[in-house]
Structure 1
Amino acid sequence: MLVAAGILMSGCQDANGDRKPADSPPEVGFVTVAYNNVPQIVELAARVTAFEMSEVRPQVAGIIQERMFTEGAVVRRGQTLYRIDPRLYAATVNQARANLASAEATAEAARIRAERLAPLASLEAVSAQDLTDAQATARQAEAAVAQNRAQLETANINLGFTRVPAPITGRIGRSLATVGALATLNQAEPLAVIQRLDPIFVDMQQSSADLLTLRRALSAGGMVPAAAQVRLLLEDGSDYGLTGSVQFSEVMVNQNTGTVTLRARFPNPQGQLLPGMFVRARFAQAIDTRAILVPQAAVTRDAKGEATVFVVGADNKSARRTVVANRTQGADWVVTSGLAPGDRVVVQGTGKIEPGATVRAVPASTPQTIATPGTAPPAGAPAVTPAPGGR
């Protein structure tokens, strides 16, 4: 019996003769969660659109005699771009001017005649009808003067249209008409296209269902609108560098795509953004004031794909809890349901615990205290027993 007792006593000692500590609950590190203001970031497909665009079209017909700009250059509003043969329109101006002079002479004669007949009619030297006819003729002559003056003004306007100006300030593209081409009043193709590229618009497409969900969340509380500062990812994946701002949202849904167009305005001093370019736009559409951030190491997925975490209760027992975590922010999951402020979420040691197990919870990243052989660990600190051989 003494030999058996000695064998049992030796079995409770390690190779150095030290007694092994009794089994203790597994130690886990936890974080206490709280509500945070978390921006709701969306990333949308977008296309660049010119801030202003104008098609240069002729307003009179004629042969183009001269192109007066450099293709691809910046042109100013009112700058002459093309010159159309003006001879026909100059002749029309001269004719209208002559007609106006003739009408003015006729009107002058009619007025003088009516003035001379007025005293004679009072003396009954002429009939009252003659005076009435003379006065009517004078008024008709004055109307003819006004008509001819308007025709002269029209002729001058048409003569001015022989110099085709730039409607806006911007960068002009290639010329779609050459010297010697016939410009017509209602031609289908413009002579050139001018686009203003600084600033510039970016049109984003968002699902109408997502927009409806956002509006309901804003009206229900817990979310507040965010100042929509937009960042762009270019076609090569690089960041544009400059930020823009959302200007407005369309009030109708595209029937073919089921999306709503949101327009943002960006500075474009270097001309890096070009109309028609596809980009990705990222911006905070709202701020969730009741979101909880949980480190990614604490969240696992079950067989159904649902997110779960371990929490430590007041009795130091672990429990598995299903949460809603559909997006990340930096190194954290954004949990919108399943947790409450003050919950202790396990972030370290999740692989060595089971639901309902008693654990020893310490704040995350607390350093462990290694006990020296033959001594008990300090109260409240985890004991780590050295490996056999002192290693």
Structure 2
Amino acid sequence: MSKDEAKPDWAMSKRERENAARVAAGQPPKKRRRWIFWLIVLVVLVAGAGWFVQSGQFAEMQAQRAAAEAEAQAEADARAARAAIIQLAPFEVTAVAPSTLVETLKITGSLAPARQVHISSEVTARVESVAVREGERVELGDVLVRFDTEALDIALTQARANAEATRVQLEKARTDFERTQDLVERGLSASNTLTAVRSALDQLTATLAAQDTLVASAQRSRDNALVRAPFSGVVSVRAVDPGEFAATGSALVTLVDLTSLEVEANAPVAYAPDLAPGLDVDLTVEGFGDRVFRGKVERVSPVALEGSRMLPVYVALENETGELRGGMFASGRIVLEARADGIGVPAGALRHDAEGAHVIVVAGDKVERRAVEVGRSWDAGAVIEIASGLEPGDMVVTEPLPELQPGDTVELVEIGQ
């Protein structure tokens, strides 16, 4: 029984009923024409491919693919060339030579004059003239500020006159005391008279002493009407102008000595046992490039800064030429320990494998493995001391170049070649 005959009439589709009727009439059933559907799909695909090729995108993709293949080939050729000869730049190799190996401590700070003074007025008077301006150099004893002396002269004259008048009274009182004492000793005057005369003499003596002090004070004020430089230096601040009235204690001029500077830096308190006055310090100063200035640790604070665990360290720096200025930023290293004539290489030059520590040495146009015995590290681990295995003049590869292996052919090239 066929599949169509197995179904009841009510479950058949229209096509199935027609086929059943054809079979009943002795005619073959109609076959499904699925090839038409696939033909349509094929036509659509062919048309799309034709459009894609004509639109130019296919050609662009082909060009991109060709460019990628050419680039890959070029890279392969370059790798092959590098494999044949590896070029080394000057900064990638170092000629071994005995040198001083140092352990240092990095510091930073600002320059400040080791000696500076803020000159204040010691008189109350009007400023008559100011002889200096900011940035001008003065020598010891030069006049900086001059005050009007009219009121000071009057005060000095009055003090002297008062003292002179009291001195005359004192001489008379001393004469009266001596005469009264003689009369009392002869019994011609009562003893209480001598007591009164002695009291007057003591009072005038004390008054004259006080007035002599006033004279000295007035004389000192008169002398301070001329403000002189206490040392040779440079004026950094001028705080008054002619015509101003200055009271005692008013700021006048700030004078600095630039021949000696000081750097206040902070060091971790853990380095306290290693820090001591006299240690050498190499400093670089902002604005002077790589130029190195040599200073010395002058003193170390006995107490760390509260809450920071940092220890103030003061570095003295000579500046005879005066080219350095206060306020410049400086950075440097304190030399904590040094060893002369040591063999050291940068830490990046040291390699390790199953056989131990070694370096790569350039020998002619080849590189070879050289086993070394490692000593201690210096400069906070940046330099490794080599106890044995290297000789002065050996050319060591100092950069970590993982692609460079013993036996490779190398060529030393200059920068810009």
- In the alignment, which residue of structure 2 is the partner of 1:309? 357
8 Å CA contact 1:56, 1:167 repeated in 2: no
Q: Please identify which structure carries the higher helix content.
A: 2
Moved more, 291-300 or 155-164: 291-300
Give the whole-Å Cα distance in 2 for the aligned partners of 1:76 and 1:326.
47
Once the two structures are TM-superposed, the CA of residue 68 in structure 1 deviates from its matched residue by 2.0
Equivalenced residues, count? 292
8 Å CA contact 2:281, 2:297 repeated in 1: yes
1:242–1:125 distance in 2 versus 1, CA, 3 Å:
same
8 Å CA contact 1:233, 1:240 repeated in 2: yes
Give the whole-Å Cα distance in 1 for the aligned partners of 2:236 and 2:390.
63
- In the alignment, which residue of structure 2 is the partner of 1:192? 253
- In the alignment, which residue of structure 2 is the partner of 1:269? 320
Give, as a single letter, the amino acid of the residue that structure 1 aligns with 2:261: I
8 Å CA contact 1:232, 1:239 repeated in 2: no
Give the whole-Å Cα distance in 2 for the aligned partners of 1:120 and 1:273.
80
Aligned pair partner of 2:170 in 82, 107, 115: 107
Give the whole-Å Cα distance in 1 for the aligned partners of 2:148 and 2:349.
79
Q: What whole-Å deviation, never above 9, does each CA across 1:311-362 have from its counterpart, x for those lacking one? A: 9xxxxxx999999857589xx8325xxx9x66899x7999469xxxxxxxxx
1:122–1:309 distance in 2 versus 1, CA, 3 Å:
same
- Aligned to 1:140, the other structure's residue is in SS state helix
- In the alignment, which residue of structure 1 is the partner of 2:301? 250
Aligned pair partner of 2:338 in 287, 294, 303: 287
Give the whole-Å Cα distance in 1 for the aligned partners of 2:149 and 2:228.
15
Give the whole-Å Cα distance in 2 for the aligned partners of 1:101 and 1:295.
85
8 Å CA contact 1:48, 1:279 repeated in 2: yes
Give, as a single letter, the amino acid of the residue that structure 2 aligns with 1:334: I
1:175 aligns with 2:226: no
Give the TM-score of the pair, scaled to structure 1: 0.63
- In the alignment, which residue of structure 2 is the partner of 1:356? none
Q: Give the % identical residues.
A: 20
Aligned pair partner of 1:334 in 375, 380, 384: 384
- In the alignment, which residue of structure 1 is the partner of 2:213? 150
8 Å CA contact 1:40, 1:288 repeated in 2: no
8 Å CA contact 2:103, 2:379 repeated in 1: no
Q: What whole-Å deviation, never above 9, does each CA across 1:163-211 have from its counterpart, x for those lacking one? A: 2222332111242211112212244xx2221100102222232122344
RMSD (Å) for aligned C-alpha atoms: 3.9
8 Å CA contact 2:104, 2:379 repeated in 1: no
Once the two structures are TM-superposed, the CA of residue 60 in structure 1 deviates from its matched residue by 1.8
- In the alignment, which residue of structure 1 is the partner of 2:117? 54
Give, as a single letter, the amino acid of the residue that structure 1 aligns with 2:260: P
1:269–1:320 distance in 2 versus 1, CA, 3 Å:
closer
Segments of structure 2 that go 5 or more residues without pairing to the other structure are: 1-98, 360-369, 398-402, 408-417
1:205 aligns with 2:243: no
8 Å CA contact 1:245, 1:264 repeated in 2: yes
Once the two structures are TM-superposed, the CA of residue 55 in structure 1 deviates from its matched residue by 0.8
- Aligned to 2:238, the other structure's residue is in SS state coil
1:295–1:173 distance in 2 versus 1, CA, 3 Å:
closer
Segments of structure 1 that go 5 or more residues without pairing to the other structure are: 1-35, 216-224, 303-307, 312-317, 354-391
Give the whole-Å Cα distance in 2 for the aligned partners of 1:325 and 1:181.
65
